[in-house]
């Protein structure tokens, strides 16, 4: 049964009113996780606030911002490659400001400035005020820059879209042996619940209908604040915001995936039947060496409880293949676990040693060709499982939140996060539409709209 939403007193808007365009342009380049996308949205909206407009061309930008990721060597190589590629532009147009933020930067500013002297500013994502050093117009803003919401877009740039990411907790208190994140993002810091709810109300007032709450360990929300407000309290508060029809949160750590959180997911009407719960490996010895703090059975039990409470729930997970010392048998345990549980989405990575982490001291002893074979095996498994599952949905009627139009087709997602395409001549952006599924593929569904949108 859908519960009615309670209404809130309108709160004061945190954002200042937008200035006129000042003729200057910014170019934003982002790689990495959703947290980086959220931080980039904040930089972009702040620059727009003081009159800058976005451009797709680095050549015509007055400010270039690169938001970096170093979770794997391949990501770090992309960032350093991009930085090298901008040496020529900076020589030709020295007046262009080049800024770098993201996980590459934290605690590394000095070394980076020596290595890349053409960069004007390396700023830590948690030290947003640094932007003022190269964007003088930001002094015109009354607000403390770090207090600006992530998703405010000035009126002049149009609606912010249908879905929005809202960070709720920064950093991570775990120390998984392979992971560089705690060294770059620091300890867990939960944002005050009132700030988060105000930000959600603000995006809802601009037409956003789906919010995804973000954190490296999102379900640790509140644990660093003497339990003043925990994730379940926050889910209830956001569920009650008028206009928010769908609520998601990622990424959860299995250790903190309590029955209370799963119960709240099942009870709150806006919380979608979708869980993002990284397992990383299906063998207990590998999990122990990864310092993941749970066992294979514990992870399975969390999924089982979620399915007991929400039989239609879809499951996404993260897996690393080729961790140091991972034997064929141990890899097979991961493969079998994913096959048994039937995850809808596996975010798959080949192990990449990160200097400074514990596992980087161990031999990276699974050869590349073997990592690639394991990677391919899980990709094929995923394709088979998704083909079978999606095929069984032909004829089903699913609720789709319509996000974009591309090549004459509307695209949106189900509550379980499956992509759906359909044709309809009406303007359906931001509408909830029932779609009857007519064709399926492993990665998306195709259908026909079946009702009046809401
Ligand atoms: N906090 C989440 C968790 O508990 O799993 C994940 C956040 S992590 C930044 C995102 C993903 O990157 C991880 O789930 C892991 O699969 C992958 N990852 C992190 N370090 C890695 C490494 N050294 N090599 C390969 N993949 C890595
Ligand atoms: Fe990295 Fe582990 Fe923290 Fe996730 S929980 S961010 S994998 S250290």
**By alpha-carbon position, which residue is closest to atom 1 of ligand 2?**
179
What's the gap in Å between 297 CA and the centre of ligand 1?
20
Residue 187 near residue 233, CB atoms below 8 Å: no
Residues 316-367 pLDDT 10s? 999 999 999 999 999 999 999 999 999 989 999 999 999 999 999 999 999 9
List, in sequence order, the alpha helices (H) in 253-314: 259-267, 284-289, 296-309
Q: Is the CB of 217 under 6 A from ligand 2?
A: yes
What pLDDT, in 10s, does the model give residues 161-211? 899 999 999 999 999 999 999 999 999 999 999 999 999 998 899 889 999
Is any atom of ligand 2 closer than 6 Å to the C-beta of 287?
no
SS3 215: coil
C-alpha pair distances (Å), 373 with each of 20, 44, 280, 325, 378: 54, 40, 17, 16, 9
Question: Is the bond into 251 cis (omega within 30 degrees of 0)?
Answer: yes
- Nearest atom of ligand 1 to the alpha carbon of 350: 25
Of all protein residues, the one whose alpha carbon is nearest to atom 2 of ligand 2 is: 176
The answer to which of 43-47, 95-99, 155-159, 416-420 has the lowest mean pLDDT is: 155-159
Dist CA 192 CA 195 (whole Å): 5
Distance CA 93, CA 380 (A): 47
How far, in Å, from the CA of 175 to the mean position of ligand 1?
A: 11
Model confidence band, residue 14 (pLDDT cutoffs 50, 70, 90) = very low
> Considering only CA atoms, which residue is closest to atom 4 of ligand 1?
253
DSSP state of 143: S
Relative to the CA of 292, which ligand 2 atom is closest? 2
Q: Are 211 and 246 a contacting pair, CB within 8 Å?
A: yes
DSSP 228: S
Average per-residue pLDDT for the chain: 90
Give the pLDDT of residue 134: 86
For residue 115, the surrounding DSSP H or E stretch is: helix 109-115
Cβ(176) – ligand 2 distance below 6 Å: yes
- pLDDT score for 451: 74
SS3 401: strand
- Three-state SS for 156-190 is HHCCCCCEEEEECEECCCCCCCCCCHHHHHCCCEE
**Does any ligand 2 atom lie closer than 6 A to the CB of residue 182?**
yes
Q: What is the DSSP string of 329-369?
A: HHHHHHHHHHHHHT-SEEEEEE----TTSGGGGS---S-HH
Tokens of 375: 């990677």
Q: Which ligand is nearest to the CA of 76?
A: 1
* DSSP β-bridge partners for residue 271: 247
The DSSP annotation for 81-103 comes to HHHHHTHHHHHH-TTSEEEEEET
Rounded to the nearest angstrom, the distance between the alpha carbon of 356 and the centre of ligand 2 is: 14
270-297 per-position pLDDT tens digit: 999 999 999 999 999 999 999 999 999 9
Cα 110 to middle of ligand 2, angstroms: 26
Can you tell me which atom of ligand 2 is nearest the CA of 253?
A: 5
Q: Which of 101, 212, 194, 103 is nearest to 151 (CA)?
A: 212
Give the Cα separation of 317 and 338 in Å (integer): 9
The single residue listed with the structure tokens 């207990």 is 284
CA angle at 287 for the pair 283 and 290, rounded to the nearest 5°? 145
Q: Is the pLDDT of residue 9 over 50?
A: no
Taking phi over 0 as left and psi of -120 to 50 as alpha, with beta for the rest, 226 belongs to: left
As a 3-state breakdown, the chain gives helix, strand, coil percent values, each rounded to 5, of 35, 20, 45
Nearest to 299 by CA among 268, 253, 340, 266: 253
Which burial class, exposed, middle or buried, applies to 298 when counting CB atoms under 10 A from its CB (0-12, 13-18, 19+)? middle
Query: Which residues, in sequence order, are bridge partners of residue 194?
Result: none
Cα radius of gyration rounded to whole Å, the chain = 23
User: Per the structure block, which two tokens stand in for 293?
Assistant: 């703090």
Pick the atom of ligand 2 nearest to 172's CA: 3
Q: Tell me which H or E stretch contains 122.
A: strand 121-122
Residues 404-432 have pLDDT tens digits of: 998 899 999 999 999 999 999 999 999 99
Ligand 1 binding pocket mutation candidate from 36, 75, 322, 349 (most atoms within 8 A of CB): 349
Structure tokens, 370: 């073997």
Q: What is the pLDDT of residue 151?
A: 57
Q: Does the pLDDT at position 249 exceed 60? A: yes
Position 149 scores a pLDDT of 59
CA 220 to centroid of ligand 2, rounded, Å: 12
Instruction: Provide the pLDDT for residue 5.
Output: 32
Note the pLDDT of residue 16: 38
Provide the angle, in degrees to the nearest 10, between the axes of the packed helices 328-341 and 368-391.
Answer: 10
Q: What pLDDT is recorded for position 20? A: 65
Looking at per-residue pLDDT, the higher value among 74 and 153 belongs to: 74
pLDDT in tens, 113-156: 999 999 999 998 888 888 888 888 887 776 666 666 555 554 44
185 Cα nearest atom in ligand 2: 6
What digits encode the pLDDT tens for the residues 432-448?
999 999 999 999 999 99
In this predicted structure, what is the pLDDT of residue 8?
A: 28
What is the enclosing helix (H) or strand (E) of 74? helix 73-85
CA dist., res. 450 & res. 432, Å (int): 11
Residues in the chain: 454
What is the per-residue pLDDT for 214?
95
Q: What was the pLDDT predicted at 15?
A: 37
Residue 41 has a pLDDT of 86
Can you tell me which atom of ligand 2 is nearest the CA of 180?
Answer: 1
């Amino acid at each position: 049964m859908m519960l009615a939403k309670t209404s809130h007193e309108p709160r004061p808007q945190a954002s200042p009113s937008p200035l006129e365009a000042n003729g200057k342009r910014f170019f934003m380049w982002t790689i990495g996780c959703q947290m980086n996308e959220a931080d980039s949205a904040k930089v972009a909206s702040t620059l727009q606030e003081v009159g800058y407009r976005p451009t797709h061309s680095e050549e015509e930008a007055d400010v270039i911002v690169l938001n970096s990721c170093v979770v794997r060597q391949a990501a770090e190589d992309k960032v350093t490659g991009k930085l090298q590629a901008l040496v020529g532009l900076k020589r030709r147009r020295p007046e262009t400001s080049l800024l770098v933020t993201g996980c590459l930067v934290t605690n590394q500013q000095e070394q980076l400035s020596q290595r890349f002297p053409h960069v004007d500013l390396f700023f830590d994502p948690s030290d947003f005020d640094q932007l003022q050093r190269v964007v003088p117009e930001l002094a015109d803003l009354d607000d403390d820059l770090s207090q600006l919401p992530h998703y405010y877009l000035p009126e002049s740039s149009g609606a912010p879209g249908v879905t929005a990411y809202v960070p709720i907790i920064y950093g991570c208190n775990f120390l998984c042996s392979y992971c560089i994140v705690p060294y770059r993002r620091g300890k867990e810091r939960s944002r005050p619940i009132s700030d988060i709810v105000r930000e959600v109300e603000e995006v809802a007032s601009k037409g956003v209908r789906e919010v995804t709450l973000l954190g490296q360990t999102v379900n640790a929300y509140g644990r660093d604040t003497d339990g003043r407000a925990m994730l379940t309290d926050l889910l209830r508060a956001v569920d009650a915001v008028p206009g928010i029809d769908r609520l998601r949160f990622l990424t959860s750590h299995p250790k903190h995936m309590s029955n209370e959180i799963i119960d709240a997911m099942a009870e709150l009407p806006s919380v979608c039947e979708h869980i993002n719960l990284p397992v990383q490996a299906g063998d207990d010895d590998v999990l122990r060496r990864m310092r993941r703090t749970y066992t294979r059975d514990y992870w399975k039990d969390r999924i089982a409880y979620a399915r007991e409470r929400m039989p239609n729930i879809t499951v996404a997970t993260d897996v690393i293949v080729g961790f140091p010392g991972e034997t064929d048998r141990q890899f097979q345990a991961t493969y079998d676990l994913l096959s048994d549980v039937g995850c809808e989405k596996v975010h798959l990575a080949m192990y990449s040693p990160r200097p400074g982490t514990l596992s980087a001291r161990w031999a990276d002893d699974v050869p590349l060709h073997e990592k690639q074979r394991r990677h391919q095996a899980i990709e094929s498994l995923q394709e088979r499982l998704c083909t079978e599952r999606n095929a069984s949905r032909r004829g089903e009627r699913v609720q789709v939140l319509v996000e974009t139009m591309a090549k004459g087709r509307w695209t949106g997602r189900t509550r379980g996060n499956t992509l759906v395409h359909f044709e309809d001549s009406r303007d359906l952006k931001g509408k909830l539409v029932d779609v009857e599924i007519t064709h399926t593929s492993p990665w998306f569904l195709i259908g026909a709209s079946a009702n009046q949108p809401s």
